[in-house]
């Protein structure tokens, strides 16, 4: 099975062939590197930009205005912060012009911890992104969703923020992307650029199929009756594993992958919480003014009388950064043990 | 300053046809009267904030006259700022739209009552939405220009802003992205230099002799021009545009202009006495050369004043947007 980086690459290839994507660009996005995570290798519309994040976002806005279909990359989300006002403008353009303009553009950027990225390659962006109205915000937790969400993002007529959990980019999927070969080695041979001289290299793309994960739709990745766990991105597989492990202890947890942070699938969350009476929101952004706090508030306001326990949030510590040393990173953002313990504790909590 | 056009002090004749001069004058007067009407609306309480371009008509009118108007990459894009009303009128826009935006009524054609005066937007003519954060439009112009270069034809992207804003990194972004070797883009980069950033004089903040000189480092054609002379501005813009259209390469033009009513209503929106008024100077020339008489010019101004007073009376009767409309157009929907 493809890993997430390959899935993104294949989706972008499908999009430039079939969905009108005209430009895939950013720092080191074009040949020879094809992106620092290899997600843009071999793409015919990929090109390298100056080292200028504001220029990259401005270019995307301009291209979108002129009828092109850009996919812009910010190499690491840690470097997107100097573009916030441009992101706000991209998000408000349709509204500010009373519907006259719309900007079909995608911004993709790797987020989160998990690769020992220290202070400036570990940031999360979910709290900030969900604070910028006018965008649709997606974040996959596995290669198939990464493929399907990118297809949907490229079909959108509004700005889409595509957050790539960098810890998962090299992880192979458990489900086949429609059209990918069964043999991983063969896939790699076909679409991974070789080491060394790549000047003559051309990818052999598999016959990919349109497979879209609708924006705004979550997914129940594990059904359960006792407690609801809602997550996305890097922490989603950890939640799933925690729920599977806890089954042996008699804890029956339902796990929901949000997949889209805005507009999000409240109906799915609500239905699950009404059934279980308990909910834990898990993400790795810093916990103060965290997107999960919004979900907790909505849970309290709309589902208060259905709850058996307070809604909980497990998130990153509110500290200035993520330290490089292993114990520092482990202590800063939720890890497997933290999540398992939090679910176990909530599941047994009684009024 | 690059070599100015040699204009004989006692010029024998004006270097543009009479019809063009008359049209240019008409639009300059129209734009001035509009701005003065907007200021009056503000002072009468028919608007929360005024910002505009009185003093820049001599440059902004020719700009609008020379633009290739239409929608899509075959036509020119304007990434303007909030002193562009004269350009809009020169393109053929009706002045009532600016008043509607001033009064923030539901009929405001640019933002439906959501945005400040002078924040134009018109997709049908490639007028990109003006926004308040200074200089951000300079990051977007290379984007539309890239689409134009690829599309073919002679459409160009025009970006305008003030001198103070060139301190922002976005100005440098525009220079870098427009002039990449082998990937040069058809961007006409304009700086209207009124020598002020709100209350701060340019000379206290900028070490460069001319803003336009900054383009030289990027191997682009540059020029600093007198933007208070509409004939000069017309000829210089025409030449610069022809270069950008044909060569598909950037050009950095700095136009020296006046700021006749201060920065905005935040600084009082009062007429200043110490800046050259491009309209007064132009009218003297037109009169001297027998293009128009004083009476003709006064009549024109009076006619526009009456027209726009009537428009303003109409606009202030129009309804405000309803509170429920805040939810409209957050996202575009497929038609």
The DSSP annotation for B98-163 comes to HHHHHTT-TT-TTTTT-S-TT---BGGGTBPPP-SSTTTHHHHHHHHHHHHHHH-SS--EEEEEES
Tokens found for residue A85 = 């006002």
**A121 counts as catalytic:** yes
B330 to A133: CB separation less than 8 angstroms, yes or no: yes
B277 is a domain residue? yes
The one-character DSSP state at B212 is: G
The one-character DSSP state at B49 is: -
Tell me the β-bridge partners of B157: B77, B187
Set of chain A residues whose Cβ sits within 8 Å of the Cβ of B138: 58
Set of chain B residues whose Cβ sits within 8 Å of the Cβ of A101: 121, 123, 128-129
A54 to B139: CB separation less than 8 angstroms, yes or no: yes
pLDDT of residue B7: 53
Find how far residue A155's CA is from the centre of its chain: 17
B335 is a domain residue? no
Mean predicted confidence (pLDDT) in A96-123? 97
B226 is a domain residue? yes
Interface membership of B131 toward A (CB under 8 Å) = yes
Spatial contact of B222 and B192, defined as CB atoms under 8 Å apart:
no
A59 to B122: CB separation less than 8 angstroms, yes or no: no
pLDDT of residue B194: 94
Instruction: Report the alpha-carbon distance of residue B9 to residue B11 in Å, rounded.
Output: 6
Report pLDDT digits (tens) over B219-278.
Answer: 999 999 999 999 999 999 999 999 999 999 999 999 999 999 988 998 889 999 899 999
B329 to A68: CB separation less than 8 angstroms, yes or no: no
Name the residue range of residue B289's domain. 9-325
The residue of chain A with its CA nearest to that of B120 is: A97
Interface membership of A64 toward B (CB under 8 Å) = yes
B283 is a domain residue? yes
Tell me the β-bridge partners of A71: A24, A106
Instruction: Report the alpha-carbon distance of residue A320 to residue A317 in Å, rounded.
Output: 9
Nearest to B251 by CA among B260, B239, B259: B239
Set of chain B residues whose Cβ sits within 8 Å of the Cβ of A23: 146
Instruction: Report the alpha-carbon distance of residue A86 to residue B302 in Å, rounded.
Output: 43
Nearest to B115 among A50, A96, A134 (CB): A96
Query: What's the pLDDT band for A320 if we cut at 50, 70, 90?
Result: very high
B4 is a domain residue? no
B1 is a domain residue? no
Interface membership of B141 toward A (CB under 8 Å) = yes
Percent of chain B exceeding pLDDT 90 equals 93
Report pLDDT digits (tens) over A242-293.
Answer: 999 999 999 999 999 999 999 999 999 999 999 999 999 999 999 999 999 9
- pTM of this prediction exceeds 0.95: yes
B164 is a domain residue? yes
For chain B, the domain total comes to 1
Spatial contact of B100 and B315, defined as CB atoms under 8 Å apart:
yes
Instruction: Report the alpha-carbon distance of residue A240 to residue A57 in Å, rounded.
Output: 35
Spatial contact of A166 and A117, defined as CB atoms under 8 Å apart:
yes
Interface membership of A61 toward B (CB under 8 Å) = yes
Report pLDDT digits (tens) over B177-225.
Answer: 999 999 999 999 999 999 999 899 999 999 999 999 999 999 999 999 9
Name the phi and psi angles at A239, rounded to 5. Answer: -65, -40
| Higher-scoring residue by pLDDT: A351, B63 | B63
- Residue B314 pLDDT > 60, yes or no? yes
Strands B157-162 and A227-231: unpaired
A65 to B140: CB separation less than 8 angstroms, yes or no: yes
Tokens found for residue A189 = 């041979």
CATH for B315: 3.40.50.970
Interface membership of B149 toward A (CB under 8 Å) = no
Spatial contact of A164 and A13, defined as CB atoms under 8 Å apart:
no
Instruction: Report the alpha-carbon distance of residue B48 to residue B117 in Å, rounded.
Output: 9
B99 is a domain residue? yes
B177 to A59: CB separation less than 8 angstroms, yes or no: yes
Classified as helix, coil or strand, B171 is helix
């Amino acid at each position: 099975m493809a890993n997430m980086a390959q899935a993104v690459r294949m989706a972008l290839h499908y999009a430039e062939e079939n969905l009108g994507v005209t430009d895939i660009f950013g720092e080191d996005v074009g040949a020879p590197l094809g992106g620092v995570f290899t997600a843009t290798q071999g793409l015919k519309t990929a090109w390298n930009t100056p080292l200028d994040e504001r220029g990259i976002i401005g270019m995307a806005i301009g291209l979108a205005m002129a009828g092109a279909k850009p996919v812009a990359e910010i190499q690491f989300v840690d470097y997107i912060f100097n573009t916030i006002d441009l992101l706000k403008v991209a998000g408000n353009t349709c509204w500010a012009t009373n519907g006259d303009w719309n900007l079909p553009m995608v911004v993709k950027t790797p987020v989160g911890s998990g690769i020992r990225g220290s202070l400036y390659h570990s940031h999360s962006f979910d709290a900030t992104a969900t604070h910028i109205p006018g965008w649709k915000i997606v974040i996959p937790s596995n290669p198939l969703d990464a493929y399907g969400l990118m297809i949907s993002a490229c079909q959108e007529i509004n700005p889409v923020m595509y957050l790539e959990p960098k810890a998962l980019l090299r992880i192979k999927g458990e489900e086949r992307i429609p059209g990918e070969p069964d043999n991983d080695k063969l896939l790699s041979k076909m679409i991974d650029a070789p080491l060394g001289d790549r000047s003559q290299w051309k990818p052999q793309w598999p016959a990919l199929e349109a497979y879209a994960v609708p924006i705004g739709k979550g997914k129940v990745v594990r059904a359960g009756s006792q407690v609801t766990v809602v997550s996305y991105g890097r922490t989603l597989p950890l939640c799933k594993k925690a729920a599977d492990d806890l089954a042996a202890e008699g804890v029956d947890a339902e796990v929901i992958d949000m997949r889209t942070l805005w507009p999000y699938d409240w109906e799915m969350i609500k239905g699950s919480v009404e059934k279980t009476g308990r909910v834990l929101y898990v993400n790795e952004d810093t916990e103060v003014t965290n997107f999960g706090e919004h979900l907790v508030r909505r849970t309290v306001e709309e589902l208060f009388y259905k709850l058996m326990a307070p809604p909980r949030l497990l998130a990153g510590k509110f500290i200035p950064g993520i330290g490089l040393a292993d114990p520092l990173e482990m202590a800063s953002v939720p890890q497997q043990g933290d999540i398992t313990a939090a679910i176990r504790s909530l599941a047994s909590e009684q009024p | 300053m690059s070599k100015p056009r040699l204009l004989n002090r006692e010029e024998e004749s004006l270097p543009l046809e009479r019809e063009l001069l008359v049209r240019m004058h008409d639009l300059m007067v129209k734009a001035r009267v509009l701005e003065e009407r907007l200021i009056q609306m503000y002072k009468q309480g028919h608007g929360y904030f005024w910002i505009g371009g009185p003093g820049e008509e001599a440059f902004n009118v020719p700009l609008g006259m020379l633009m290739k108007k239409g929608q899509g990459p075959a036509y020119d894009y304007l990434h303007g700022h909030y002193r562009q009303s004269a350009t809009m009128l020169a393109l053929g826009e009706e002045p009532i739209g600016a008043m509607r935006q001033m009064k923030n009524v539901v009929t405001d054609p640019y933002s439906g009552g959501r945005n400040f005066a002078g924040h134009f937007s018109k997709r049908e003519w490639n007028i990109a939405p003006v926004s308040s954060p200074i200089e951000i439009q300079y990051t977007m112009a290379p984007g539309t220009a890239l689409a134009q270069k690829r599309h073919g034809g002679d459409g160009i992207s025009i970006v305008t802003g003030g001198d103070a804003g060139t301190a922002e990194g976005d100005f440098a972004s525009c220079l870098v992205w427009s002039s990449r070797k082998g990937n040069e883009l058809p961007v006409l980069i304009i700086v209207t230099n009124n020598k002020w950033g709100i209350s701060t004089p340019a000379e206290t903040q900028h070490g460069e002799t001319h803003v336009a000189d900054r383009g030289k480092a990027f191997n682009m054609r540059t020029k600093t021009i007198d933007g208070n002379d509409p004939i000069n501005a017309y000829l210089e813009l025409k030449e610069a545009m022809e270069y950008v259209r044909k060569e598909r390469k950037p050009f950095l033009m700095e136009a020296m202009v006046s700021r006749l009513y201060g920065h905005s209503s935040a600084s009082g929106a009062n007429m200043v006495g110490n800046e050259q008024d491009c309209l007064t100077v132009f009218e003297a020339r037109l009169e001297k050369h027998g293009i128009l008489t004083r009476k003709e010019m006064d009549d024109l101004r009076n006619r526009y004043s009456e027209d726009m007073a009537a428009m303003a009376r109409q606009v202030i009767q129009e309804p405000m947007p309803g509170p429920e409309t805040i939810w409209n157009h957050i996202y575009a929907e497929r038609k």
